[in-house]
Structure 1
Amino acid sequence: MKYFIETYCYLRNGKIFCNGEELFASKSSDFLPFIKEAYYHFNTAYPRFFKMDSLSKLAFLSSELVLKDQKTKQIDLVFCNSAASLQIDRKHASTIEESNYEYANPSVFVYTLPNICLGEISIRNSFLTENAFFIQKAFDPSKIHPYTESLLSRAESDKVLCGWVEIDGDNYESLLYLVSKEGIILHTPNEIKQIYEHAARRTEV
């Protein structure tokens, strides 16, 4: 059976592109001012956002744009990156050192797994579905393509939200795309790679 990319969104260097069109450009390419400005620009209204670590903020805002107007709750999640939760891991280590190894900050420790961002998206959308987070050296859609299609072959899955969500300091990048049984762009590794490369070129500094 053939599956399709229904919609996609790419974030990098202070810019947001969805389905090939620029939706937002911040005055700053630095991550924290950019993501905060984008949050308000899209009228997100989700206070829990401000408690999240940077990886979760990036994944969450990207998912908000891709999942807009979706009615089904049967959406699985398949994400990947290369750094895992390295940024918050460093912060976690520093809080322990600063406290002379007496305790870890619970609000930091809770985000020391990359798949926590999937939990944040699931909570927001009331998803009770399959999810997985893979680590790879660089974005390679051929690695998650078979797993995505195997999920869609099940009766329990209507769609799968897939993609790459990476952050380390002010170096950040997100490509999320929704795969379903209807659409225009065929769900193949080559099509995904073309979307990714084209969006990356448009957000170069």
Structure 2
Amino acid sequence: MNPSYHIKSFCSIKNSQVSLNGNVVFESNTDSFSEFIKAAYKDQNTKYPKFFKMDNLSKLAFIAADILLKNENIDSEQDHNIAIVFSNKSSSLNTDRKHQESIQNKESYYPSPAVFVYTLPNICIGEISIKYKLYSENSFFIFDNFNAEHLLNYSNSLLSTNKANQVLCGWVEFDSENNYEAFLYLVAEDGKIKHSKQDIITLYNT
């Protein structure tokens, strides 16, 4: 008989507001994502100097993951068997646009390496994995819309085959300064919320 899995905690970021398990932990009046995410970094006492060199998608995913994992008392100094399964619609399009602009910039002989390195969406997974020493499987999927069923089935498969003890799942979408959204949740055998398609959708829409 397959074990049942549960959602331990979840974090959402949208409209200049950060929520953890349904409770607002930080909000700002600014419409600028860049200003908002830097303020959230400072407010939540995040410690990762490389954060300021990341692209916007990575900053969004990193802050959501950091807040959630700290809440779960995941020690960044120890190795953890936590897989990561992310998804979005735009891939790394926002950074791709910036990279293309740097190529077409007649004042610059070469495109920016600092921008080019983030022209893959799964780079944000790497930043989180470095900070929290996560060496389990990871994947980044592209869908037209939030796909709760895929996250459910893929993460349950990782857990049931013992490829991970926990899975950090979710949706991290960044298209522009005022069009972004993150919804991450941690699933394991223990937790208060059943890991079902309907429960995932309910939390996502909260």
TM-score by length of 2: 0.92
Kindly indicate whether the alpha-carbon contact (under 8 Å) linking 2:92 and 2:118 is maintained by their aligned counterparts in 1: yes
Match of residue 54, structure 2, among 41, 52, 68: 52
Match of residue 187, structure 1, among 188, 192, 195: 195
Kindly indicate whether the alpha-carbon contact (under 8 Å) linking 2:137 and 2:163 is maintained by their aligned counterparts in 1: no
Match of residue 25, structure 2, among 23, 26, 41: 23
Q: Does 1:70 align with 2:77?
A: no
CA distance in 1, matches of 2:155, 2:31: 32
Match of residue 109, structure 1, among 116, 127, 135: 116
Task: Decide which moves more: 152-161 or 90-99.
Answer: 152-161
CA distance in 2, matches of 1:164, 1:99: 36
Letter in 2 for 1:75: I
Q: Deviations over 1:62-119 (max 9, x none)?
A: 0001111125610000000000000000000000000478522110000000000000
Deviation, structure 1 residue 45: 2.2
Structure 1 gaps of 5+ residues are 199-205
Which residue of structure 1 aligns with residue 15 of structure 2?
A: 13
Secondary structure of 1:67 counterpart: helix
Match of residue 138, structure 1, among 145, 149, 167: 145
Change (3 A) 1:101 1:30: closer
Q: Say what the alpha-carbon RMSD is for the aligned residues.
A: 1.3
Deviation, structure 1 residue 46: 1.3
Kindly indicate whether the alpha-carbon contact (under 8 Å) linking 1:3 and 1:181 is maintained by their aligned counterparts in 2: yes
Kindly indicate whether the alpha-carbon contact (under 8 Å) linking 1:13 and 1:30 is maintained by their aligned counterparts in 2: no
Deviation, structure 1 residue 150: 0.6
Q: Does 1:149 align with 2:138?
A: no
Structure 2 gaps of 5+ residues are none
Matches within 5 A, 1:157-196: 157-170=164-177, 171-196=179-204
Secondary structure of 2:151 counterpart: helix
Q: Percent identity?
A: 45
TM-score by length of 1: 0.93
Letter in 2 for 1:119: G
Task: Decide which moves more: 148-157 or 98-107.
Answer: 98-107
CA distance in 1, matches of 2:68, 2:161: 22
Which residue of structure 1 aligns with residue 5 of structure 2?
A: 3
Match of residue 44, structure 2, among 21, 42, 45: 42
Secondary structure of 1:17 counterpart: strand
